[in-house]
Amino acid sequence: MPRTIEDLDLVGHTCMVPVSDEHAWEATAAYISRGLTRGEQVVYFEDATADRLLERLADDRVPVDSAISGGQFLIVPTEATRAVTTGPLDGVEPAMTHVIGESREQGWPGVRIIGEAARGRIPQGLNSLVAYEQVCDEVLRDNPTARLLCLYDRRRFDEGALDALRSVHGSELTGPPAYDDGLLRVTRPAPSMLRLAGEIDHSNRSVLRGMLDGALEDTLRSVDVPVDVTLDLASLRFLDVAGAVEVIRGAQQFPGTQRVLLRGPRSRVQRALQRCGAGAVEQLVVEPSTPAAGSGR
Amino acid sequence: MSAGPAPRTAERMRHAVGFHDSMADLMSQLAPLVRDCLLRGETVALSLAPPTLSALHDRLGDELGGERCARDAITVLAHPDGPQGSCGQSLAVRRTRELEALTADGPVTVIGEHDSHFDGPDGRFWTDLDAAIHVAMAHLPIRMVCFYPRYPLHGVVLDGARRLHPLLWEGGDLHPNPGHRPVREMLAEIPAPAPALLGAPHHAMDLGAEQLVDVRTLVERVLRERECPAERLDDAVLAINEVATNAVEHGRGPARLELWAEPQGCVAEVHDRGDLDDPLRGLVAPEPGQARGWGLWVARQACDYLRVWLDEAGTHVRIHVTV
C-alpha cells in the first residue's frame, strides 16, 4: 500500500480518490497553484474540462494568465490528450519522457502533470489502466523532479479496483477533514474561515445552520480580540432562499462589532442574498469576486 | 360631496369599489375624482381600458384647459401583454412594485376599471386580482377606487367586487361597504382560477429533496438553450427551485414537476397533494430577519408570472419564464 500524505509538495506519483467533484477540483486547483507558486512547470491534460478548471482557479484567485502566456502552465488540448490516452501502451513512456525532458530543457526546476489522461484507458479495462500507471510510475522514479497526481472517481471503481490502482502509485493524497455530501463541500482553510463549494438547498441546508452556529460559538468564546468570520463563497454555485435567510439570520446573531465577510459570491448567490434583505444587515459585508474570478459566470 | 384630500398621514391602502351603468355614468364619476386630485396637486395612477382613458383625457382637456402641469401628474398603468396580464396574482405583484415607486413621494390615488377583455372563461380573473391587490398593497399609502359595471357578463365579477372592497365609492366619497367580507373567506367561496391547460409536458419528474438539483439543472439547460440573459436565468432557477422546495417540504404525498420548453422561455408547474389554505401566500414582504415566509415571496418577485391555485387534487403553482 502506498503511504498516505496530506502535503501536496510531497507528491511524486500519487493517486487520490476524491469524495466528490468539488473535492477533485479543489485538489486539482491546489496542486496547480502550488506548482506555479514554486516556479515549476504545470502540464494539464484536459478532456473538455479546461473551462471548469479555469473557473475553479479563478474562484481560488490563482493568477494564471501570465503563467499560460509564459509557458509555465500548459493546457494540453482534448484531442491531444485523447491521442495519448487511447494510443498503444508502448507510446506512453516516450510521451511522458518527452514532456519531462522538454520541461527540463526549458529550465523549469520541476514539472507537475495532472489531468484527465487516465480516463481514456478506462474503457480498455482495469488491467490496461494499471499497466499504464505502472509505466508512469517507472518514468517518475527515473525523474524525481517530475510529479504526477492521478484522480480516480469513486463512482467508477470498486474498492478492489482502487486497491489495484493504489498499488502502482508511490503515495495517496488525502485531504483534511471536511463536510462533503457530493452537492456541497465545506472546508476550513483558516480558523475563522469556511470555504463552501457546490450548492446549498433543502437537502443540505441544516449543515449551513450548524456551521454558522459553530462559528458564532467560537467567536463568543474567544478571549482574544474578536476576529471577523469569513465565508468564502467563490465556488458556491447555488444558494436557495432558506439558505440565504440562514446566512442573514446567522450574521444578525453576531455582536455588532464583528463582521461576517462573504468572500467572492457569484452573481446568482449574491442575488439570492439581496432578495432576502442581506443589504440591511450591518454585520454582513460582501467582498466582491476579483475581475478574473467574476468573468463568465 | 367632494372627494376630499387623501390624508398625508394615510399609511395603509383604502380600497373602494364604485359601480356604473354606462360609459357616461362612469365618466361622470371618474372625471371629477381625477380633476379634484389634480387640482390639489396629487398624483393619480390610472389603470383604465383604452376607450375610457381616451374619453377621460378629452374630458379633462375641456375642464382643465391649459393645466398641462396638472395632467402631468397622471401615471398610466398599462395592462401588460402576455401571460402576466391574464394572472391576477402576478398583475398585483407588478402593480405593487409600480405603486411602491410612485408612493415614495407621498400618497397616490389609484383608479382602476373592469375590462371584460380579461374576464377569461368565467370572470374569476377579477376576483383573483382584487383579492391579491387587497393583500399585496395593504401597506401602501394609496386610495384605490375600482369601477365595475352594475351588470357584468359573469355574475362572479359582481359578487367578488361587492365583497372584496371594504369601502364603497358613492356620491363622490368613500363609505363603509356593508357587503365586505374577509378576503380569505371570499376565496373559499370563489377560488383562484386555474390557468388554461397546456399540452403534454416536455419534461416531468417526481420531486424529493435529492431531485432539487436535477430541477435546477433542467431549468438552466432549457433557458441557456434559449440564450436567457444571466440575471433572468438566475431568478428563474431561484424561483422554480423555491416552488419545488415548498412542495417537497410542505406538500403532502408525492410532488411532481412538469416543464414545457417554449420558443421564448419555459413554463414550469409544480403539483403536490397538500392543502395550502392560502393561495395568496408570498404577496406580503416578510420582515427583515424573519425566519420563514420568504420562499414564495422571493419566487413571486423573481419572475413575471407565478400563479397558485388549489383544487381537490392539491396545490398547484405555475411559473412562466420569458427570455
- What CATH number did the domain enclosing B275 receive? 3.30.565.10
Tell whether A82 and A124 lie within a shared domain: yes
Residue tagged 402641469 (cell numbers)? B69
Q: Which of A152, A173, A194 is the last residue of a domain?
A: A173
Tell whether B169 and B225 lie within a shared domain: no
Return the number of CB contacts < 8 Å for A and B: 67
- Beta-bridge partner residues of B18: B147
Q: Which residues of chain B have a CB within 8 Å of the CB of A276?
A: 294, 298
Write out pLDDT tens, residues A245-290.
Answer: 999 999 998 888 889 999 999 999 999 999 999 988 999 999 987 6
Tell whether A169 and A220 lie within a shared domain: no
Tell whether A164 and A185 lie within a shared domain: no
A209 touches chain B (CB under 8 A): no
Q: Which residues of chain A have a CB within 8 Å of the CB of B216?
A: 199, 201, 238
User: Which is nearest to A247 in space by CA: A220, A219, A283, A217?
Assistant: A283
- CATH number for the domain spanning A121: value is 3.40.50.300
A24 touches chain B (CB under 8 A): no
Kindly provide the ipTM of the predicted complex, given to two decimals: 0.88
- The closest CB to that of A275, out of B209, B216, B298, belongs to B298
pLDDT at B4 over 50: no
Tell whether A69 and A145 lie within a shared domain: yes
Q: Which amino acid, one-letter code, is at A54?
A: L
Residue B283 inside a domain? The answer is yes
Give chain B's contact residues with A (Cβ, < 8 Å). 209-210, 212-213, 216, 230-231, 234-235, 237-238, 241-242, 245, 248-249, 288-291, 294-295, 298-299, 301-302
Tell whether A23 and A86 lie within a shared domain: yes
The answer to whether B241 contacts A203, with C-beta atoms less than 8 Å apart, is no
pLDDT for position B5? 33
Domain holding A88, by residue range, is 3-173
Residue B195 inside a domain? The answer is no
Domain holding B237, by residue range, is 203-322
Q: Which of B189, B215, B239 is the last residue of a domain?
A: B189
Average pLDDT, chain A: 88
Residue B156 inside a domain? The answer is yes
Q: Which of A173, A198, A213 is the last residue of a domain?
A: A173
Q: Which of A142, A173, A204 is the last residue of a domain?
A: A173
Q: Which amino acid, one-letter code, is at A238?
A: F
The C-alpha atoms of residue B221 and residue B242 are separated, in whole angstroms, by 18
Residue B197 inside a domain? The answer is no
Tell whether A158 and A228 lie within a shared domain: no
Tell whether B213 and B145 lie within a shared domain: no
Tally of domains within chain B: 2
Q: Which residues of chain B have a CB within 8 Å of the CB of A281?
A: 288-289
pLDDT at B222 over 70: yes
pLDDT for position A6? 66
Quote the distance between the C-alpha of residue B40 and its chain's center.
Answer: 29
Tally of domains within chain A: 2
Closest residue of A to B287, CA-based? A277
Write out pLDDT tens, residues B42-79.
Answer: 899 999 999 999 999 888 877 666 555 455 788 999 88
The answer to whether A245 contacts B294, with C-beta atoms less than 8 Å apart, is yes
Tell whether A107 and A251 lie within a shared domain: no
Write out pLDDT tens, residues B97-119.
Answer: 999 999 998 999 999 999 999 99
CB B90 within 8 A of CB B84: yes
Write out pLDDT tens, residues A234-253.
Answer: 999 999 999 999 999 999 98
Residue B177 inside a domain? The answer is yes
Tell whether B174 and B212 lie within a shared domain: no
Tell whether A195 and A245 lie within a shared domain: yes
